[in-house]
Amino acid sequence: MIAEIKRYLILILSILVVTSFAYLANEKKQHQKEIENFQEFAKEANKLKVLKAKWSNKKEDKKLLSQIKSRFKPNSYSQKGTTHILDFKSLDKASFHKLGKMLLNSNLRIKTMDFKKHEAKVSLHVEIII
């Protein structure tokens, strides 16, 4: 009977070793999968970070908008929600080129842009989303 108990002890310990090893292996596999999933998540998140820095950088956009306003003095300026509306009634050719370059080289989200030539002067209506 003691031999039987000893045999059962070995059997129980063996089962414990095997099941705990299987459980540990499974946990490790799951942890590895979690790491891989997170690496994928981080990769996508970093892409988003780059896009956000480019097209959702409100601080930079506001700074640039105030620069445009102070440098080119729009005839009218208004804001509807996130849309900033600027109207330039009589820009000379040089200012128009400078303003155009500034807008196109920036990362401001241009909603609409309406340019019209009136003899030597130019009128420009711009809507920017910030």
Partner 1 sequence: MSFFRPSKKPTFFITKNFNHSLSEKSNIVLSPEFYWAKRVNLNVKFKHEVKQMATSIFSDSLPEGNFEYKVFKLSQKEYIIVAYDIEFIKKKLTQLGIDMLHVDKIYTIQSEFLHDEVSLKVDDDFGLTSQDNIIVYLPLRYLEANNDVHRALKDKKLSYDYIYSNQLQKVNINPKQLKLLVYLLLLCILIIAFDFIKLKQDKSFFEKQKEVFIKSNNFPRTKLQIKSMQDELSFVDAIQVDIRESMLYIDKFKLNKTEYFSMIKLENNKILYKLKLDDKKRENLFEKYLSKKDKNHILIEKVK
Closest approach of Cβ 61 to partner 1, in Å?
A: 12
- Our finding on whether 1 is near partner 1 (CB under 8 A) is yes
H or E element that contains 130: none
The CB-of-113 to partner 1 minimum distance in angstroms stands at 4
Instruction: Identify any residues that bridge with 76 across adjacent strands, giving them in sequence order.
Output: 87
Question: Which residues neighbour 89 within 8 Å (Cβ) at sequence distance 6 or greater?
Answer: 75, 123
Instruction: Please tell me whether residue 63 binds partner 1 under the rule CB under 8 A.
Output: no
C-alpha separations of 121 from 41, 84, 90 in Å: 52, 23, 5
Give the interface with partner 1 as residue ranges (CB under 8 A): 1, 3-4, 6-11, 13-14, 16-17, 20-21, 24, 27-28, 31, 34-35, 37-38, 40-42, 44-45, 47-49, 51-52, 54-56, 100, 104, 107, 109-110, 112-117
